[in-house]
Structure 1
Amino acid sequence: MSDFLEKVASAADATPEVAATILADHGIRESIPSAPAAELRVREVNFSGFKNQNTDQPTDPFNFNWTIPGRVSAIASRGNSAGKTSVIEVIRWLLSGRSSVDNWVFERIQRASVKFLLDEEELAVEVDKDGPRLIGNLSLNGRVIRNFNEKSFESVMEQLMLPRLGLERIDTFQKFPRSERGKITSAGWPLLIDALHVRPSELSNVIGGVAQKAGLLLQVYVSPPWFDTLLQARAVVAISRQASTDRARTSQEEERIRGVETERIRTQLQEARNVLANMKEERASAHELRLAMSRAAMLSDAALRRAAEMQAATLDLETVEEIHLTSRRLLRNIIEREVAGTFFRALTPQACPRCTTVIDDERRTHEADEHICSVCNRPATAQASPSARPQAEAEVSETEKARDKAKSVLERIKVEYDAINEERVRLENRIASLADSESLSQRREQEALVARLEGRLEEREETRRLLALTQNGSTPNEEIRVLSAAQDESEVRVKQSSTLFEELNVEILTLGKRFGISGLTSVKLDRRAHLPVVKEGTKYNFGELPDGDKLRLKVAVVIALLRVGRLHGVRRHPGLLFVDSPGAEEVSTGSLVEMVTALTEIAEELGIQVIISTARLDEMITALDSSLIKSPAPGRTTLW
């Protein structure tokens, strides 16, 4: 038994066995070291399409291709609206499966691809797009391993990225607006990739683009021990307590609200039923379809029965025909014997045909009187029974009638079987016609609506019944005690790793100064991603700083996460950073060169990749070698 389980069981006044079962049932796992994240490196991006695709023949084709060099590279232009941000957004879309590309640009892209490395694995994503529809594939070392469409793209990329980066989907309890109630939400790779991107439109957050998730992103990537366990426990405790509160809640106002909603559903249900009842033609078609399907099923059963009867009748006919043939052979034999007897008895032999002994009158008289053959001296065979032939003839007649009757039965069954099959074929054609009719489809949709509303109404009435049974709610039960104890114990253990944030703040302060934030003397990043700073003797919240300082601090936070995480062996950040800073929100003149120079040194030190977007091409040329910069072709102001 682990120390964690022992403390949880003790705090919850439960046995270790019960505590272990409850934690396992709710997916709460003890902290285990995770493998370091794979290094993510983007090598090439391509996308193409037509800028003016609304004409009869799409015009103004574009084709952007960039083989990304070095640890630090840049997309730069002289001025904005050159398509720089779109390049970064396309890369992010292809890496995550979820698009934040500008709608105008996204609609015009018809084909896109990205090549990238995860450690030593060479991967590529290729997408063909037609409006909102797309198909694509993911390949590993030149071999396609997954295909996807617009619905599965995000899932395919998440299944690739999360295990290789040592990450998991994050379950958190999210409150509804202006409510203490909420639900468990699950976030995956499309949220976690936010930590790789510094956007000028998201400078209100220290990390990522969603304010409510900033603290979560921060701790996921620095990953203090027991933080994953704490996240799981928090979400489960919140939803379990909410469920317990729901069971106990009996206020009249909530009952009124439930009643109003129930009445609304009841009204909608009645309206839907009225619409369904007024669909006369559709109803007739549906009725005809049901009758046709029922009749077709009956005919199928009848056809099976007739087939069995036909097989039995065929066997009966074969048996009767065999008996008839036998009776005819017997009659023929009787007739042949009668003819032969008459012929031979009419003969008067003069001598034995073998030894020529003369047959005299005495032997003939003896034959007539004693019925002893005058030739062989043996008893003479009596004549055939006079009734044998009439009996044989009667039997032939009877078997012939039986055969004719069997034939008649078989022919009748065949006629019935053929008629059933003909009717069944007609019905199947009619069923297909009815099923394809638009009016019937509309009726089916209306019937489905009625069914959904009936289900919702039944669900609400069942909920009301259950609430009535639990209106005298109890105190938290053993399950909630165990889950709460697990949350508390995880919280204690996470706080014991507070030195991580102390080291983060030292790194952020150092990097902020290195990136050119003048007068910066103190930063204090906390677990909720709040970042108050002291600058030139005055304390500021992060959101009160100039945009240039916020941008540099956001970059500093990501670099600090990478450096401190690697020092403590909790590296989850893949070492890829996009810095997008167009227009007026870029850092001040001169400091851009200082910041890029510092990023170049840090990238080489940590082995990370930084892709910068800027509208200051001339300054970027000063900071980076021209081979590391992608800029508009001569004579153009845009990249694509």
Structure 2
Amino acid sequence: MSALGKEVADTLARRRAGGPLSLTVDEVDKILSGLGVPLRGAKAVPVPLRATRMHFSGTKWLKPDHPDAQGHPLVDVADLPAWIRPVVDELSPTAGSDGDGPAPDIDEQVGPKARVPFRFEWSPQPGVNGIGSGRNLRGKSTLLNVLMWSLTGRCPQFQNDVRSWIEHVEVDWAVGAEQLRVKFDAVNGVATGQVVRVTEVDSDIRSTVLGQFDGADFEGVMGSLMMTRLRLENIPVWTDTAARVHAWPAYSSSFVVRAKQLDPIVGNEQTIGVRMMQMFIGTDWAPVQAAAMTARRGMDKARSAANDKAQAAGDAVEASRSAAEKQVEDLRAKIEKLPAGTPDVQVMLNAATRASDLAREVHGLEAKLIAQTSLAGTARQQLKAVRAQVHTTYEDALAARFFHHMRPSVCPRCAAQVTPERQAAEPDKHECSVCTSELNLDALQADVIVAASVPDELVAGLVAGTSGGDGVGGDAEDGPLDEVEAAQAAVTAAEAAVAELTAEIAALTEQRDGAASRVDVGSELLSAASERRALELDLARAEGAVGALTRSSDPATVDPVDPVQLAVVDAAEQVLKKWVRSDQDPMLARISADIERLTQSFGAENLSGFTLTGAANMALRENGVKQKYSGLTDGEKLRVKIATAIALIRHGYVEGIGRHPGFLVLDSPSAEEMPEEDLATMVKALWDVAGEAEMQIFVATRNAAPLVDLLPKANRVVAEGNSYVW
């Protein structure tokens, strides 16, 4: 039976919404345990963490003209072992860089290299330790990176050259009363080594291996060893999709304050700023509250996912129902547009037979019409020919009469004069007065002038044509005129036959088209009846689908969350929230006062009225005006964040609570517009705070003067001028 279970059971019993939920304390404890919620708060007692010795060694590969290369042998890259050759080919020429140097030129990566062994050893002290240099890129950050590499198990972002130079690392850590040594060999940033416990028995140093690692498992080994020894608890947090447990990487990253990483105000993980603050403040129930909130959010996510799934199913059903309703409407509209009536199949067949017979008759008549039309054309041609012949005969008679009665006065060819004497001599001399040809005497007696050489039959015709005076074509034309009348009669008869056939064909065609139309109407009705049957079947199916989808339009949502478990965890979250707040609020007030005092001692005297809230937010005043941490400049943020970290450490050690191990690294605080006098003020304030509470602080800065002036020699590593830190 736990105190938390009892309070949750009492809370559930008091609730009236839907009736009280009666659960025993044991039942509540069982539910909470099953959800991963601890039943008891953990007393937070800080365990100090201190670096007591750091050593690293290796080989620098420098250009021959580098100052540190003097007196060291030159080695051609081709003569190096195979494993180091690619690394040396990529090296930059800097020595002990901070990882911010420019990438080397290609020309600087070729040729011989000077092999320069190095070894660095230092024993940091309690309190404030300073690492400084007169210039940038002199190896300050390398010391911090090696320190944190041994602590976290994760290789930092070294410059390529520095990462490959470091070949062996040893760092001794004091974890409470226990001495741990982390030692490993490194090949281009990949560590292989072990963690040992170092004990002294009768002046005899003994080592016990606690863990071994080879590459990627280094971080896991350090996490498993440090979390238990520092009494740090996992921080469960619900992300957007799943629960996530933050452990050693999140804690160890919060031990470092970098000028380039100032958010959030506590730690360096934005999503767990509140949890990190609660862990470091030291409220007993903070870890339990984190577990309860994570369990509750997991239930909310499961329920939300179920609702989303049901909603998606409902939307799909609604879409299907709308589609089915539209299909019903479309089918009904198509049925209404179909012609009404039922076709008489026998009538349709009789009409088809009649149309076929009439078509055959029309075809036969059209053949006759073609023949008759051809005969009529022939008759017309014959009539035209007869008329032309009659016309020619008539014109010849007229011409003969005209020309034979002419009395030319000149020759039509040579224009010689035809004298009256020659004309008068024609009867006597029997010759033409124009051409002097001998005349036909018989024709001359009939007053027809024609040469004796002209054939008799032609002469007879001329004589006959000129006889009878003006009666051209009299009885002599009776024969031709009969031929014209006969031809005209033939044409008339042929055209009458064509007209009769055409009329008969038109009448039969009309009858055939009528029969075909009756067949078409019957076919349309028959097709419409078949289509109607198919559409009515489709309509029945669509109406059935609408009915089924209407009944299932609201799919039942299956709640994946046990309502009893939800009620228990909800009540536990409310209880724990109240307990944490009651413990935390007085502490936050005292911590806020420390933050204000420290921030002002760091040179930010314009900031006041600090209030660190339970949500890990900071409210304050800047020159008397309300302000938030997010609204400060980076230089002000840096001072406030350092002050917050130190206040949390001081609070834990002064009051004997909290989980912060008192280890803090400040990387390049002067990078954010902090003048040397403000840095000196900060270092002095840090030294004073470290004297009040047990802690170890490392400060790396380019402004080395305050470190030299304020820190004992054992507490500092300073490279002056152009010198390197290591």
Give the TM interval when normalised to the shorter protein: 0.5 to 0.7
The answer to whether the 8 Å contact 2:295/2:569 transfers is yes
Secondary structure at 1:151's aligned position in 2? coil
* 1:145 CA displacement: 2.6
Q: Which residue in the other structure is 1:15 paired with? A: 23
Q: Which residue in the other structure is 1:112 paired with? A: 169
Q: Are residues 1:482 and 2:482 paired? A: no
The answer to whether the 8 Å contact 1:86/1:101 transfers is no
Q: Are residues 1:121 and 2:178 paired? A: yes
* 1:255 CA displacement: 10
How has the CA–CA distance of structure 1 residues 132 and 89 changed in structure 2, closer, same or farther, with 3 Å as cutoff? closer
Secondary structure at 1:218's aligned position in 2? helix
Of 29, 42, 52, the match for 2:38: 29
The answer to whether the 8 Å contact 1:79/1:583 transfers is no
Q: Which residue in the other structure is 1:205 paired with? A: 264
The letter for the 1-side match of 2:625 is T
The answer to whether the 8 Å contact 2:57/2:168 transfers is yes
The answer to whether the 8 Å contact 2:670/2:679 transfers is no
* 1:519 CA displacement: 2.2
- What is the distance in 2 between the residues matched to 1:147 and 1:57? 34
The answer to whether the 8 Å contact 1:8/1:489 transfers is yes
Q: Which moved further from structure 2: 227-236 or 106-115?
A: 106-115
The answer to whether the 8 Å contact 1:244/1:476 transfers is no
How has the CA–CA distance of structure 1 residues 250 and 146 changed in structure 2, closer, same or farther, with 3 Å as cutoff? closer
Q: Which residue in the other structure is 2:52 paired with? A: 43
Q: Which residue in the other structure is 2:158 paired with? A: 102
Q: Which residue in the other structure is 1:219 paired with? A: 278
Q: Which residue in the other structure is 1:63 paired with? A: 119
The letter for the 2-side match of 1:28 is V
The answer to whether the 8 Å contact 1:172/1:235 transfers is yes
The letter for the 2-side match of 1:576 is F
The letter for the 1-side match of 2:293 is R
Secondary structure at 1:28's aligned position in 2? coil
How has the CA–CA distance of structure 1 residues 86 and 255 changed in structure 2, closer, same or farther, with 3 Å as cutoff? farther
Q: Which residue in the other structure is 2:405 paired with? A: none
* 1:61 CA displacement: 4.0
Q: Which residue in the other structure is 2:593 paired with? A: 506
Of 144, 155, 158, the match for 2:223: 158
* 1:481 CA displacement: 1.3
The answer to whether the 8 Å contact 2:676/2:703 transfers is no
Q: Which residue in the other structure is 2:609 paired with? A: 522
The letter for the 2-side match of 1:68 is P
The unaligned stretches of length 5 or more in structure 2 are 13-20, 62-86, 90-111, 199-205, 317-553
Q: Which residue in the other structure is 2:679 paired with? A: 592
Secondary structure at 1:250's aligned position in 2? helix
- What is the distance in 2 between the residues matched to 1:593 and 1:508? 18
Identity %: 26
* 1:551 CA displacement: 1.8
- What is the distance in 1 between the residues matched to 2:607 and 2:560? 54
Q: Which residue in the other structure is 1:571 paired with? A: 658
- What is the distance in 1 between the residues matched to 2:629 and 2:141? 24
* 1:138 CA displacement: 0.6
Aligned counterparts, 1:277-426, within 5 A: none
The answer to whether the 8 Å contact 1:31/1:228 transfers is no
Deviations 1:341-386 (A, max 9, x none): xxxxxxxxxxxxxxxxxxxxxxxxxxxxxxxxxxxxxxxxxxxxxx
How has the CA–CA distance of structure 1 residues 78 and 582 changed in structure 2, closer, same or farther, with 3 Å as cutoff? farther
- What is the distance in 2 between the residues matched to 1:635 and 1:556? 31
Q: Which moved further from structure 2: 62-71 or 193-202?
A: 62-71
* 1:229 CA displacement: 0.9
- What is the distance in 2 between the residues matched to 1:516 and 1:14? 59
Q: Which moved further from structure 2: 533-542 or 10-19?
A: 10-19
Of 158, 168, 193, the match for 2:252: 193
* 1:470 CA displacement: 7.0
- What is the distance in 2 between the residues matched to 1:589 and 1:190? 33
Q: Which moved further from structure 2: 621-630 or 498-507?
A: 621-630
* 1:630 CA displacement: 0.4
Q: Give the aligned CA root-mean-square deviation in angstroms.
A: 2.7
The answer to whether the 8 Å contact 2:599/2:643 transfers is yes
* 1:14 CA displacement: 4.1
The answer to whether the 8 Å contact 2:152/2:223 transfers is yes
- What is the distance in 2 between the residues matched to 1:563 and 1:635? 36
Using the size of structure 2 for normalisation, the TM-score is: 0.55
The answer to whether the 8 Å contact 1:30/1:226 transfers is no
- What is the distance in 2 between the residues matched to 1:140 and 1:172? 33
* 1:99 CA displacement: 2.8
How has the CA–CA distance of structure 1 residues 99 and 213 changed in structure 2, closer, same or farther, with 3 Å as cutoff? farther
- What is the distance in 1 between the residues matched to 2:560 and 2:701? 61
The answer to whether the 8 Å contact 1:76/1:615 transfers is yes
* 1:475 CA displacement: 7.5
The answer to whether the 8 Å contact 2:182/2:196 transfers is yes
* 1:514 CA displacement: 2.1
Deviations 1:306-333 (A, max 9, x none): xxxxxxxxxxxxxxxxxxxxxxxxxxxx
The answer to whether the 8 Å contact 2:236/2:246 transfers is yes
Q: Which residue in the other structure is 1:78 paired with? A: 134
* 1:185 CA displacement: 0.7
- What is the distance in 2 between the residues matched to 1:69 and 1:225? 31
The answer to whether the 8 Å contact 1:112/1:128 transfers is yes
Of 264, 288, 302, the match for 1:243: 302
The answer to whether the 8 Å contact 2:131/2:717 transfers is yes
Q: Which residue in the other structure is 2:439 paired with? A: none
* 1:39 CA displacement: 1.2
Q: Which residue in the other structure is 2:292 paired with? A: 233
Aligned counterparts, 1:176-187, within 5 A: 182-187=241-246
Q: Are residues 1:148 and 2:213 paired? A: yes
The answer to whether the 8 Å contact 1:50/1:58 transfers is no
The answer to whether the 8 Å contact 1:233/1:486 transfers is yes
Secondary structure at 1:590's aligned position in 2? helix
Larger gyration radius, structure 1 or structure 2 = 2
* 1:115 CA displacement: 0.9
How has the CA–CA distance of structure 1 residues 581 and 132 changed in structure 2, closer, same or farther, with 3 Å as cutoff? closer
Secondary structure at 2:260's aligned position in 1? helix
Deviations 1:376-400 (A, max 9, x none): xxxxxxxxxxxxxxxxxxxxxxxxx
- What is the distance in 2 between the residues matched to 1:215 and 1:562? 16
Secondary structure at 2:309's aligned position in 1? coil
The answer to whether the 8 Å contact 2:181/2:195 transfers is yes
Deviations 1:560-604 (A, max 9, x none): 112222344323111111111255315223011111111111112
The answer to whether the 8 Å contact 2:133/2:703 transfers is yes
The unaligned stretches of length 5 or more in structure 1 are 176-181, 258-467
How has the CA–CA distance of structure 1 residues 76 and 470 changed in structure 2, closer, same or farther, with 3 Å as cutoff? farther
The answer to whether the 8 Å contact 1:23/1:483 transfers is yes
Deviations 1:519-578 (A, max 9, x none): 222111112221122121122221322333222211211221122223443231111111
Of 104, 124, 149, the match for 1:93: 149
* 1:499 CA displacement: 0.8
How has the CA–CA distance of structure 1 residues 197 and 575 changed in structure 2, closer, same or farther, with 3 Å as cutoff? same
The answer to whether the 8 Å contact 1:97/1:190 transfers is no
- What is the distance in 2 between the residues matched to 1:46 and 1:77? 19
Of 534, 537, 543, the match for 2:624: 537
Count how many residue pairs are aligned between Structure 1 and Structure 2.
423
The letter for the 2-side match of 1:126 is K
Q: Which moved further from structure 2: 501-510 or 473-482?
A: 473-482
* 1:625 CA displacement: 3.0
The answer to whether the 8 Å contact 2:233/2:287 transfers is no
The answer to whether the 8 Å contact 2:181/2:196 transfers is yes
- What is the distance in 2 between the residues matched to 1:204 and 1:29? 30
- What is the distance in 2 between the residues matched to 1:70 and 1:234? 38
Secondary structure at 1:631's aligned position in 2? strand
The letter for the 2-side match of 1:515 is F
